[in-house]
Structure 1
Amino acid sequence: MTLHRIQAGYLPGLDAAEVDWQLLSFAQGDQALEVEVPVLSAAQMDALAARVRQASARHLKTMAVSEIIAVVDQAIARLLDRSDPYRQQAEAYLPVVSGYDSDMVRLGLTGFFKTFRAAQLHRFVAEDFANPKVLDGFQPTPKGGAVRAFGPDLLVHNWAGNVPALALWSMVCGLLVKAGNIGKLPSAEPLFAGWFARLLAEVHPPIADCFAVVWWRGAGEDGASGGASALYAQADTVLAYGGNEALDAIRRRLPVTTRFLPHGHKLGFGVVSATALDTLKAPALARLAAWDVMRYDQQGCYSPHVFYVQRGGAVSPRAFAGYLAGELANLHRRFPRRPLAVEDSAAVAKWQQGVEWKALSAGAEGPADQLIGASSAAWSVAYSDTLQPLAPTAMQRTIQVVGVDALDDVVPLVAPHSRFLQTAGIAAAPAELFRLAGLLGAVGVTRISAIGSMSAPEAGWHHDGRFNLLDLVRMTEIEQSAELAAEPLAPYAD
């Protein structure tokens, strides 16, 4: 077995020799990796936070947002270049720490990075600000007066590691609003954020001290070090991803005046109209649906757990489930599922057994529920002819297909989970799409995509129905009354 050791994080102004380092171990196949992550004392964290605040005030906040986009674009161009050392180490080591197939990671990184190029970032900013120049200075408003957007002096990110390189989303958001950024590495994927910070420092050295990447265990129940508490005490805004219990633990540790933006567990599902189920369209649609299930083994908040398929098309919902099973089998040959931990294997087995028990309980009338394919396969498709409320599967490429008579039948099945709804993939004609989107939006769905794009959000999407950038800033207004009162005081007034 080949063993590599990497030092993670990014600590401008701190001497690595004076920092404590925790060792995280990973292995996949014949590759083993030891990652050293930094554990800072309260004093070290205070010094780091002060440095980042001061540097961002001197450098980042004086740059135009278009200049920041140009810097990010240069960094992304290098990450899209497979001959670049940063891209090569991402391809080499992210599969080891995540356990995902190397080709899946390679393709996933390319698709992900493409959403952060200059053109996409300009659209990203324009989604939240009708006039992006409000990030650079006061701009006139239609009602009179002027307005300007100010990002936080210190934005703290608490990242999740369920998908490789996921930290890029919020880190770029922080840069676009000119915040000083300090991010906490996830133990499940402690590499990419530090690499990206170093790459930005190489591309544009003046902003090298405007961000940092640190680590602590869990939600930050400090031992003697107190680094997490020190950082939370200084943060203006905290942006956090993860499980609801972890988010609640972070919330309890923050001062009441700190803005907290949590992103917790979500449930995704798909809806397939009978109009999409002719003998030509249905197999192609099943292939796209399988990609949404396969990408990162449903670990994303946007991944589907259930597909509701309408009866009445040339291809039945049961036949669509068979197509989906075949496509998942094909994808497994190309992108094998990652090895499962004991608890993940147990969860998959429990979910499969639940489906089988439902089938047995149908008795002589015939199975209303059935598991398609062998239970030992690295994917599972369950089919039901009876209405099934939206519920999480065991993930790891486990998916439920439910036959419905009408698209409207889906709404009451998902509505009880309104707090957890996010992405719905829809295959329907335009009139059906917009009518159903209105019904689903009313019960909590915040993103509607094509099937096949569920697990690949567009640049600038409104994560959990909120604003990526607007939620990070505060607006300062100069009212028209102040402008008018200033006029008599001007040198030219006499």
Structure 2
Amino acid sequence: MTITEPTASPASPSPGLAPSEPARPKKLKVPHVVRGRVVWGEDVEYASRDFGVPFVTPRINFNELITPRTEQGPAFDVPLTDIIDYLVEVAQHLELERNPYLQESLELTAQVSQMPRRMIENTFRRPGQFLTRQSMEFRLEKTFRDPRVLDGWVAHTDPHGRTTRIRAFPPRLVHMLAGNSPSGAMTSIADAALVKAINVFKLPSADPFTAVAVLRTMADIDPEHPVLRSMSAVYWRGGDAKVENVLYRAQYFDKIIGWGGGAAINNIIKYTGPGFHLVAFDPKVSMAIIGREALADEETMREVAELAATDATVFNQDACLAARHIAVECADDDEQLERLDRFCALLRERLNVDREFASAIGPATPSEIREAVEGMRFLEPDYRIWGEYDGSGLVVRSPEPVDFHPTNKTVNVVPVASLREATQFANVATQTVGVYPPERKAEIRDLLATAGVQRVVRLGSAMTGTMGNPHDGMYPLHRFVNWVADDDA
């Protein structure tokens, strides 16, 4: 198979700097991985998303990147038990203290990401939690019921006595990796291995290093392992038609696994069609619903404010599961409104706290939010504001949800007459809803699900997921594979 390679923009040479010119940022080198082989080069120059840090990559060679449809993937006949054994071994090598690739990735990612270095480091310590044998086997059982369908054709007979054989066939996938957490690259690689896919990972500009670091670790363990040879990781600027018009085709791939913002997902949609589908982890927002019990006394208000702040500050609110709007059940009288305002003040204090995946001071409040909030100061007492615009936390109490997107540790508190009323604020873009007290979840979970919500949790546990659960309203691995029937009817 020969594919005409589009012309790439070469990296511009660095001319000598005049003494009066400021020093230019050092260009970071991002290697590609092509079918498990590390490829270095400085052919194309890009800039990172958050800070515009320049980095260089090799030119994409499509003929090496794409596996023809006439070839089965390298992992096609590898037993699932062997793949799990391999991933368990890989996890043992993903210890930051003794993995030079992760150490290098940590230092480089800290230069291009808004996420504080300490939080990046904490994400690198997570693989051991989801790459244990027990967790992978449990997840596969909950997803497929009979994981043997990943290894071959499994027969069943219907009530009429007709027999068919089903296989969850290994797919060909392009993964558009998320850039807001390095752990996303690690989980995507593990998921790709478990379904025996042929994979191309599109590296994110906010972190083009972590996926490559994991693949280089796998190469050190066994450079010829079929799982590794099923994987490629390359960078191109999202929306670059010269690349995407080639890759996003049904003759080469079955599905694109899309993580990213609305613009990125909308860009992918235009390439989908018969034979080439999108499995989208759409950009979502999350919220919290708090019952009147939270306002009972000072001690309870402090406890609930801490739980709410824990959910709101995940990755400094740069995560789908981070709460942005908080509806609080509150009677319409002066005493209760005073208690609500006290809760808002306590919440503001707890936003300004270092946590495992949050920093006391995050990125400053965006200008559009500052302008909107300043306009609300003239609307007191219906609107009230606590906090500053310096990234330490901002709480806005309003009679209805604000019309801007709360971000950078900005929380919108809305009083409601009942928990049922609060469910009207949820929609199909709402991922996670934290509820306090947890025993009242049953009152509203059906209404939330009807509105489109995908996950209801105890307040304070948005980041604490149970193994084997659906994600974004689906079992992802079930969607990744191609379900094929050999029917004897």
Structure 1 contact 9–213 (Cα < 8 Å) conserved: yes
87-96 vs 464-473, which moves further: 87-96
Whether 2:166 is the aligned partner of 1:148: answer yes
Aligned to 2:387: 373
Aligned to 1:10: 33
Structure 1 contact 6–34 (Cα < 8 Å) conserved: no
**Quick one: structure 1 residues 34 and 248, their matched pair in 2 at CA, closer, same or farther if it must change by over 3 Å?**
closer
Query: Which among 208, 228, 231 is matched to residue 244 of structure 2?
Result: 228
**Quick one: structure 1 residues 402 and 77, their matched pair in 2 at CA, closer, same or farther if it must change by over 3 Å?**
farther
Alignment partners' CA distance in 2, 1:13 and 1:338? 37
Alignment partners' CA distance in 2, 1:112 and 1:454? 19
Alignment partners' CA distance in 1, 2:409 and 2:127? 21
Query: Which among 35, 57, 68 is matched to residue 55 of structure 2?
Result: 35
Alignment partners' CA distance in 2, 1:381 and 1:443? 26
Alignment partners' CA distance in 1, 2:109 and 2:415? 38
Structure 2 contact 33–232 (Cα < 8 Å) conserved: yes
Deviation at 1:253, TM superposition (A): 2.5
RMSD: 3.2
Deviation at 1:467, TM superposition (A): 1.8
**Quick one: structure 1 residues 133 and 220, their matched pair in 2 at CA, closer, same or farther if it must change by over 3 Å?**
same
Deviation at 1:248, TM superposition (A): 2.2
**Quick one: structure 1 residues 125 and 306, their matched pair in 2 at CA, closer, same or farther if it must change by over 3 Å?**
same
**Quick one: structure 1 residues 91 and 20, their matched pair in 2 at CA, closer, same or farther if it must change by over 3 Å?**
closer
Query: Which among 301, 306, 313 is matched to residue 287 of structure 1?
Result: 306
Deviation at 1:25, TM superposition (A): 5.7
Whether 2:95 is the aligned partner of 1:72: answer no
Deviation at 1:213, TM superposition (A): 0.4
Question: Unmatched 5+ residue regions in structure 2?
Answer: 1-22
Structure 2 contact 49–205 (Cα < 8 Å) conserved: no
Aligned to 1:421: 430
**Quick one: structure 1 residues 373 and 228, their matched pair in 2 at CA, closer, same or farther if it must change by over 3 Å?**
closer
Whether 2:184 is the aligned partner of 1:166: answer yes
Alignment partners' CA distance in 1, 2:389 and 2:485? 61
Greater relative contact order (CA < 8 Å, ≥ 6 in sequence): 1
Query: Which among 320, 328, 342 is matched to residue 319 of structure 1?
Result: 342
Written as runs of structure 1 = structure 2, the 5 A alignment for 1:364-443 is 367-376=381-390, 378-384=392-398, 386=399, 388-389=400-401, 393-414=405-426, 418-430=427-439, 432-443=440-451
**Quick one: structure 1 residues 51 and 21, their matched pair in 2 at CA, closer, same or farther if it must change by over 3 Å?**
farther
Spell out, residue by residue over 1:242-285, the C-alpha distance to the aligned partner (whole angstroms, 9 max, x if none): 22232222221345321221222211101112234544443233
105-114 vs 177-186, which moves further: 105-114
Deviation at 1:421, TM superposition (A): 1.6
Q: Match for 1:180: what amino acid?
A: I
Spell out, residue by residue over 1:362-392, the C-alpha distance to the aligned partner (whole angstroms, 9 max, x if none): 4xxxx121111334453211123x2x14755
Whether 2:375 is the aligned partner of 1:360: answer no
Q: Match for 2:285: what amino acid?
A: L
Aligned to 2:103: 88
Deviation at 1:338, TM superposition (A): 4.3
Q: Match for 1:290: what amino acid?
A: A
Whether 2:221 is the aligned partner of 1:203: answer yes
Alignment partners' CA distance in 2, 1:15 and 1:442? 47
Alignment partners' CA distance in 1, 2:351 and 2:449? 29
Structure 2 contact 45–54 (Cα < 8 Å) conserved: no
Aligned to 1:474: 482
Q: Match for 2:55: what amino acid?
A: V
Deviation at 1:9, TM superposition (A): 2.7
Alignment partners' CA distance in 2, 1:473 and 1:274? 45
**Quick one: structure 1 residues 332 and 368, their matched pair in 2 at CA, closer, same or farther if it must change by over 3 Å?**
farther
461-470 vs 285-294, which moves further: 285-294
Deviation at 1:152, TM superposition (A): 4.2
Q: Match for 2:107: what amino acid?
A: A
Q: Match for 1:378: what amino acid?
A: S
Whether 2:359 is the aligned partner of 1:335: answer yes
Q: Which has the higher helix share?
A: 1
**Quick one: structure 1 residues 27 and 411, their matched pair in 2 at CA, closer, same or farther if it must change by over 3 Å?**
closer
Aligned to 1:489: none
Structure 1 contact 294–331 (Cα < 8 Å) conserved: no
Alignment partners' CA distance in 2, 1:96 and 1:106? 13
Structure 2 contact 393–410 (Cα < 8 Å) conserved: yes
- Percent identity (aligned): 22
Spell out, residue by residue over 1:177-211, the C-alpha distance to the aligned partner (whole angstroms, 9 max, x if none): 11111011111211111112222233343223210
Normalised by the length of structure 2, the TM-score is: 0.82
Aligned to 1:108: 123
**2:460 partner SS:** coil
Whether 2:233 is the aligned partner of 1:213: answer yes
Alignment partners' CA distance in 1, 2:316 and 2:423? 26
Q: Match for 1:122: what amino acid?
A: E
Alignment partners' CA distance in 2, 1:177 and 1:307? 38
Aligned to 2:318: 299
Structure 1 contact 237–472 (Cα < 8 Å) conserved: yes
**1:477 partner SS:** strand
The total of aligned residue pairs comes to 453
